[in-house]
Structure 1
Amino acid sequence: MENVLKKVEEYMNKYPDSDFDDLEKFLNENFSKEEVSKYFEMMGDVLGGFNKVAENPVDALLDGPKEIFLNYDKAFVIEFPKEDRLRDLKVKEWAVWEKDVSEFEWKYDEDETCFIIEGEAEVRFDDKIVKFESGDLVKFKKGLSCTWKINKKIKKYYKFGNVEI
């Protein structure tokens, strides 16, 4: 799939005014039916639905992935947060925390907002499992008692206190 994505990017850069029919023709001429199908399925998931991609594939690619908001009551995850959001929060000015693969109990005495720089982890509480990985913006609410399970070494920017995301 990586090869398909690379070739599509090259094609879109070379032909920025192409429409859906042009893109589909390019894909069908250069890749197997299975690869083309997987490409459209993936793009539909990432960009917020096949209809958006079908209407104008160039705009869909330029707009980037759609933010996905996941609310777990005591934790909140934004997958694919927009760069403007991260810039407004001044995420790169926050403290940095790193931890190797491990599992531990944790209680939040105040809200924590973090941006996952690398790695992946999950937090378990109240029969819920909140999974997050590099690129996600996560908020944990004050009073949350949970179990952290770090599946791949994690590195994150973090800030305690009330941060409006």
Structure 2
Amino acid sequence: MRAVHPLQSALYALLAINTLWFLVVAPWTKGLDSLAWFTLLLLFALETANRPWLEKMHALGLIHLLRLGAAMAIAVSTYGYVRQHEWLDALNMGLWILVVMLLECELRFAAWVAGHRRLFTRSAFALYAMIAALIPLWALRGEWFDAYDAVLWLIAFVLIEMDALKLGVINSN
């Protein structure tokens, strides 16, 4: 079991503040979007931390149930972005959904992923690069808070990705 890195703690605190801001100030789609992703981030962080007590407490079932709820909220907010013609946000959501699918594979099929490490590493890099390419677009639109928030999310999920890949190596051995 590893301790949470201070950088991760700071990121989670900043993302929690951003989530509250989006819930209070922004349109409902942004608030729901942020809350769902923050929940998903915390669940992935918990699961990739390789904490044996999770299995002993049968907490994985609860984690999967909460993850399903977050996924449904993400689907609803993505639909909202499409209905509101918020194409940049909809594209961002689509890319993040692909990231989550990749993470799920890394967690569920660790041995197979270990045998295809290059494919998963390149796929993750490509997805994160595409998400990073969206950040200047928010800035160009004058949506500075969205750009700043996207940078935080990108860093947080890259750290989770690194943990998932390390955990996959551990679990496949």
Using CA pairs under 8 Å that are at least 6 residues apart, name the structure with larger relative contact order, 1 or 2.
2
Shorter-chain TM range is under 0.3
More helix by share: 2
More strand by share: 1
TM-score by length of 1: 0.24
